[in-house]
């Protein structure tokens, strides 16, 4: 009986750790996209204007 509870607890822990890892990956991707957007906007504002004569 104790073995069944141990196995069940192990599966629950594994699922929890997997879900936490996936949430951290998603947060990382969102943060990376935000930084990329900010850098792109900054580069556009900072780019010199080329005047053709």
pLDDT number for residue 44: 87
Q: Kindly state the tokens that stand for 31.
A: 């943060």
pTM of this structure:
0.61
Average pLDDT, integer, range 8-24: 98
pLDDT over 90 at 53, yes or no: no
pLDDT of residue 18: 98
Average pLDDT over residues 24-35: 96
Q: Which residue has the higher pLDDT, 45 or 22?
A: 22
Query: Distance between CA atoms of 17 and 8, rounded to whole angstroms?
Result: 14
* Residue 46 burial class via C-beta count within 10 angstroms: exposed 0-12, middle 13-18, buried 19 and up: exposed
Question: What's residue 48's pLDDT?
Answer: 66
């Amino acid at each position: 009986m104790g073995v069944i509870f141990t196995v069940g607890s192990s599966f629950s822990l594994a699922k929890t750790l997997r879900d936490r890892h996936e949430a951290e990956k998603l947060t990382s991707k969102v943060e990376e996209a935000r930084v990329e957007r900010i850098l792109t906007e900054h580069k556009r504002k900072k780019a010199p204007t080329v005047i053709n004569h």
